[in-house]
């Protein structure tokens, strides 16, 4: 009889519906999977290939949102216009700011001479704060702590499960951070790389690199600005321009042709976050050489 009751209990436990949650971008899904495992069912708002600065949710996504218990925000621009609408559409849904506790830096804006400091920001800087906090493993440690707290609050029965996963993931993040740090340890003082969109400021700050942006605040460079960037690339020996799939590559291709270089894809929104970050780090390392 005891064995039968145990079987019934286990069947009921496994039949329980997972906690439905929604995140803004794909890398958050990766983080949530590491902490929540099969106890959560994750939807992502910004679809693959879309731009989180200008994204507009689909009607089906708004319907699905009403089933979510938690919405995990991260501070990307489209949230400014949509989070209040999400809250109105699903008033019982908790909205969690996973960026809570992260000190943000300004989005890079190329200075008159393209100078950048050791934080990966240029002189002068733009007023817009950089939302790309998921590209720095040390900052992801802060984000997943917020994720853990929200999941435990919504699903207290899963506390020990979430906490064990959190500890394991933080250990992985520490290992990843050390691996990337060692990758750039012997790169020399001039650790510059050129990007179309300045998404890699936190990554640059974490590993002592300097990103040089082609565009700033969504604006293409002027012809004069393009010539300045070409001159700087030649002066610094830059032979690769990094682009992301969500933006036009026209200006980057113009610079690449002028310096006899190449355009390289570095996607900040890939789902397989860890593998992608290592891949991009290795590409930066090759470009810096």
Domain boundaries defined on the chain: 11-103+130-178, 186-288
9 or 153: which carries more pLDDT confidence? 153
150 or 185: which carries more pLDDT confidence? 150
pLDDT at 2 over 70: no
Q: Each residue of 118-156: b (16+ CB within 10 Å) or e?
A: ebbbbeebbeeebbbbbbbbebbebbbbbbbebbbebbe
Mean pLDDT computed over 204-223:
88
- Tokens linked to 227: 């010539």
CA distance 193 to 202: 14
pLDDT (tens digit, 9 = 90+) per residue, 30-86? 999 999 999 999 999 999 989 999 999 999 999 999 999 999 999 999 999 999 999
- 3-class secondary structure, 192: strand
pLDDT band at 191 (very low <50, low <70, confident <90, very high): confident
Mean pLDDT computed over 127-152:
96
Mean pLDDT computed over 164-176:
98
pLDDT at 122 over 70: no
Strand order in the sheet with 19-23: 40-44, 19-23, 70-73, 94-97
pLDDT band at 92 (very low <50, low <70, confident <90, very high): very high
pLDDT band at 124 (very low <50, low <70, confident <90, very high): very low
Mean pLDDT computed over 84-108:
94
CATH architecture of 186-288: 3-Layer(aba) Sandwich (3.40)
pLDDT at 108 over 90: no
219 or 103: which carries more pLDDT confidence? 103
Answer yes or no: are the C-beta atoms of 190 and 236 closer than 8 Å: yes
pLDDT at 273 over 50: yes
pLDDT at 190: 73
Q: Which residue bears the tokens 């700087």?
A: 232
Task: State CA 242 to chain mean position distance.
Answer: 16
Task: Kindly report the average pLDDT of the chain as a whole number.
Answer: 88
pLDDT at 70: 98
pLDDT at 219: 78
CA distance 110 to 128: 14
pLDDT at 7 over 80: no
Answer yes or no: are the C-beta atoms of 136 and 99 closer than 8 Å: no
Q: What fold, for 11-103+130-178? A: Rossmann fold (3.40.50)
pLDDT at 123: 44
Same fold, 11-103+130-178 and 186-288: yes
pLDDT at 258 over 60: yes
Mean pLDDT computed over 210-231:
87
pLDDT at 137: 98
pLDDT at 111 over 50: no
Closest CA to 109 of 222, 223, 217: 217
């Amino acid at each position: 009889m005891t064995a039968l009751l145990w079987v019934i209990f286990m069947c009921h436990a496994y039949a329980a519906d997972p906690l439905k949650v929604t995140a803004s971008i794909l890398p958050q899904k990766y983080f949530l999977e590491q902490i929540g495992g099969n106890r959560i069912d994750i939807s992502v708002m910004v679809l693959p290939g879309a731009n989180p600065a200008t994204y507009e949710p689909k009607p089906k996504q708004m319907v699905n949102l009403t089933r979510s218990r938690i919405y995990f925000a991260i501070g990307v621009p489209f949230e400014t216009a949509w989070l209040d609408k999400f809250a109105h559409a699903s008033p019982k849904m908790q909205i969690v700011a996973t960026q809570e506790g992260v000190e943000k830096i300004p989005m890079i804006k190329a200075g008159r001479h393209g100078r950048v400091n050791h934080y990966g920001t240029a002189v002068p800087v733009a007023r817009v704060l950089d939302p790309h906090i998921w590209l720095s493993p040390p900052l992801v440690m802060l984000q997943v702590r917020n994720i853990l707290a929200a999941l435990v609050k919504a699903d207290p029965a899963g506390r020990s499960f979430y906490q064990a996963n959190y500890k394991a993931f933080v250990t992985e993040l520490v290992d990843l951070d050390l691996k990337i740090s060692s990758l750039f340890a012997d790169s020399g003082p001039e650790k510059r790389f050129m990007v179309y969109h300045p998404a890699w400021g936190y990554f640059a700050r974490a590993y002592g690199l300097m990103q040089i942006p082609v565009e700033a605040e969504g604006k293409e460079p002027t012809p004069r600005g393009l010539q300045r960037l070409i001159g700087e690339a030649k002066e610094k020996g830059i032979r690769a321009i990094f682009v992301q799939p969500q933006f036009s590559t026209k200006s980057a291709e113009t610079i690449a042709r002028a310096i006899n270089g190449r355009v390289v894809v570095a996607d900040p929104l890939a789902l397989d976050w860890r593998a992608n970050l290592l891949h991009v780090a290795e590409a930066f390392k090759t470009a810096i050489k």
